[in-house]
A = this chain, B = another copy of it.
Amino acid sequence: MTYCVGTMLDSGLVFASDSRTHAGVDNFASFCKMTVFERTGDRVIVLLSSGNLAGTQAVISILKQRNAKDGIPNLWVAESMFDTAMLVSDAMRDVDRRDGQKLAANNVSFNASFILGGQIAGEQTRLFRIYAQGNFIEASLETPYFQTGETKYGKPIIDRVITRSTSLNDAAKCVLVSFDSTMCSNLSVGMPIDLICYQRDSLEVTMRRRFDIGDTYFNALGKQWTEGVRQVFSRLPNLDW
């Protein structure tokens, strides 16, 4: 399993991903699921990966390799975030074309999916959710965030706190608490957590952090959050029976 979140705010974008991969509880490992394509002043593109690791790694390798060659449409020359989503989708279909049949014969599906977001100079920030089939949806005013993987435990707090006008800082804290809630309930989501807060129109990544097991800030956040919500409950009006 995996847990990834991308949120689109008026002030920018927040991305976070866990690092656990596993094939059964007796076979787990740690891989970064966040990939950044950045050219300061021109573009910041962030990709969060979910699903079969062989599939997501192949997609990202193809994207990186194509970017190195001239004359082929690639993430460094794409003129819009929509075009970058199409490029990711194309790479996914290439991998599926190569591996899909072999996987299907062994009852494994090519289930790679992505959250893609960022900004290209001349455009607004944009955020996409790309399904395993390569089709995709874009975040809207009504639904300004996407999750992939183990989404349920961490969803309610995002729903209650994050709106388009939430600050980057508050949204980052909320996303981290959402990860904490998820990791408390599902062992297949695990640290380190990678976090990026992208400030709209900055066209560079200035706020990136990795939270490893025992991270002082992350632990304090979880503790203070728990104390805070207990206080909120004690102040809520009691039921009148």
Copies of this protein chain in the complex: 2
**Residues of B contacting A69 with CB < 8 Å?**
none
| Contacting pair A228 B239 (CB below 8 A) | no
**Interface set, chain A 156-210, CB cutoff 8 A to B:** 156-157, 159-161, 169-170, 172-174, 177, 181-182, 184-185, 195, 197, 206-209
* A159 x B172 contact (CB < 8 A): no
Residue with the greatest number of chain B CB neighbours at <10 A, chosen from A152, A157, A161, A197: A152
CB of A141 within 8 A of chain B? Answer: no
**Chain B residues within an 8 Å CB radius of A229:** 157, 160-161, 228-229, 232
Q: Tell whether, in the assembled complex, residue A228 and residue B221 are in contact, meaning their CB atoms are under 8 Å apart.
A: no
Tell me the minimal C-beta distance from A227 to chain B in angstroms. 9
A185 and B240 contacting across the interface, CB-CB below 8 Å: no
Known interface pairs A152-B152, A160-B226, A240-B217; A233-B174 also in contact (CB < 8 Å): yes
Task: Verify B228–A232 contact, CB threshold 8 A.
Answer: yes
A241 to chain B: which residues have CB within 8 Å?
197, 206-209
Q: Kindly state the separation between the CA atoms of A220 and B159 in the bound complex, as whole angstroms.
A: 17
- Cβ B225 vs Cβ A173 within 8 A: no
23 A-B pairs within 8 Å (CB atoms) are namely A152-B185, A154-B156, A156-B182, A157-B229, A160-B181, A160-B226, A160-B230, A169-B238, A170-B230, A170-B233, A172-B239, A173-B233, A173-B236, A206-B241, A208-B241, A220-B237, A224-B236, A224-B237, A228-B229, A228-B232, A228-B236, A231-B232, A232-B232
